Amino acid sequence: MGSPISTAGRLLPVEGQPAPAPRAGLALVTSNTHLSDRYWSLRLQAPEIAAGVRPGQFVMVTVARGTDSHPALPRPMAIYDWDAGDGWIEIVYGVVGAGSRLMTGLAAGERITVVGPLGQGFTVNDAESILTVGRGIGSCSLAGVALAAARRGVRVRAVLSGRHPGALVGAEAFVRAGADPLLLVHDADASSAPARIGAQLSRLLDTQPPDRIYTCGSRRLLDLCGDLGRAWGAEVQVSLEAHMACGLGYCHGCSSSLPGSSSEEPLVCADGPVFRWADA
Ligand SMILES: Cc1cc2nc3c(=O)[nH]c(=O)nc-3n(C[C@H](O)[C@H](O)[C@H](O)COP(=O)(O)OP(=O)(O)OC[C@H]3O[C@@H](n4cnc5c(N)ncnc54)[C@H](O)[C@@H]3O)c2cc1C
Ligand code: FES
């Protein structure tokens, strides 16, 4: 999400239970499937991680194996879906550089080092209906909250935005969550312009607005969610991205760098990646 923070809003902690301690271990690759365009799905058997997942949390995946020396740093990846009973987690990833390119070569039966679940996730609490607004791979950070809300009988509405139809990744989870409406918008036909999305959402939801709005993947969509949240009296939660070396709160490489702040906090990995977004 680049540098998503401006003076127009403030990041506040989400209110929820303290996250359980993360686990580190070797996860078994059970499948690694090409979805579309540059997107892949990686399913891992990792029972100790799957047991503690909350929607919006992530894992740090070490891609280098055996005699590989590169890439040394683990890569942060949102947990797209999971099953605590069967002990698996699923990651949907886009090929960006060396690490994610190497991930495409993982085969069923291999083992990789994974640490998680990490960070503060989304909270649904007493919401009766929610809206998720995601852009590109950011939609995959929202899949878990849509599925968790649907399991609790909460009404789900969703917007998936991307550069082109092939970049509308992760839609399958929102279909499973019964998202209605499920707006698929993209740049190729200009349907993804925030003003157009805002007008469409107002028309569809003004009479029955959501209690909570969750967003990830776009600064402009965060601004739109802030406007809609203000108009509807809905809480906005945002999942941020930052370059991460440890994912555990040690290196301070993932500071969200609020303008005007001399502090390194909040840290996206430990205090986030999910924050409440409030007016400045
Ligand atoms: C909390 C969180 C959840 C994420 N969830 C997903 C997901 O579900 N699916 C997915 O495809 N991507 C996700 N990302 C982005 C993903 O971590 C990067 O695309 C990935 O690290 C790129 O690694 P690379 O080696 O392919 O790219 P390179 O550009 O070669 O990476 C070089 C370095 O920059 C870091 N880096 C590069 N791009 C990003 C980025 N956008 N965010 C953070 N670090 C970056 C890498 O980790 C690495 O340390 C997430 C990022 C965060 C912070
Ligand atoms: S990535 Fe090291 S402190 Fe956040």
Where does ligand 2 bind, in terms of residues with CB under 6 Å? 244-247, 249-254, 267, 269
Q: What is the pLDDT of residue 65?
A: 72
Q: What is the pLDDT of residue 279?
A: 81
- As a whole number of Å, the CA-based R_g of the chain is 18
Q: What is the pLDDT of residue 18?
A: 72
Residue owning the nearest CA to atom 33 of ligand 1: 243
Distance CA 266, CA 121 (A): 15
Evaluate whether 263 touches 1 at the Cβ level (below 8 Å): no
- Half-sphere exposure of residue 137, counting CA atoms within 13 Å on the CB side? 21
- Which residues does 43 contact at the CB level (< 8 Å), separation at least 6? 29, 30, 31, 32, 33, 88, 89, 90, 91
Q: How far is CA 277 from CA 73, 80, 188, in A?
A: 30, 22, 29
Q: What is the pLDDT of residue 2?
A: 40
- Identify whether 47 is preceded by a cis peptide bond (ω within 30 of 0): no
Q: Which of 9, 13, 84, 86 lies closest to 54 in space, CA to CA?
A: 84
Residue owning the nearest CA to atom 32 of ligand 1: 97
Distance CA 59, CA 123 (A): 18
Count helices and strands in the chain by DSSP H and E runs: 6, 14
Q: Which of 226, 158, 204 lies closest to 7 in space, CA to CA?
A: 226
DSSP state of 23: E
269 a known binding residue? yes
Beta strands in 6-146 (DSSP E): 9-13, 23-36, 39-45, 58-62, 75-78, 81-83, 88-94, 111-118, 129-135
Domain ranges across the chain: 23-118, 121-279
- The neighbouring-strand residues paired with 92 are 41
Q: Which residues of 155-193 are buried (b: 16+ CB within 10 A; e: fewer)?
A: bbbbbbbbeeeebbbbbebbeebebeebbbbbeeeeebe
Regions of the chain with pLDDT less than 50? 1-4
- How far from chain centre, in Å, is Cα 98? 21
The Å distance, Cα 137 to ligand 1 centre, comes to 10
254 a known binding residue? yes
Q: What is the pLDDT of residue 66?
A: 66
What architecture is the 121-279 domain classified under in CATH?
A: 3-Layer(aba) Sandwich (3.40)
What architecture is the 23-118 domain classified under in CATH?
A: Beta Barrel (2.40)
Q: What is the pLDDT of residue 232?
A: 97
In one-letter notation, the amino acid at residue 251 is: C
Binding site membership of 118 for ligand 1 (Cβ less than 6 Å):
no
The model's pTM: 0.94
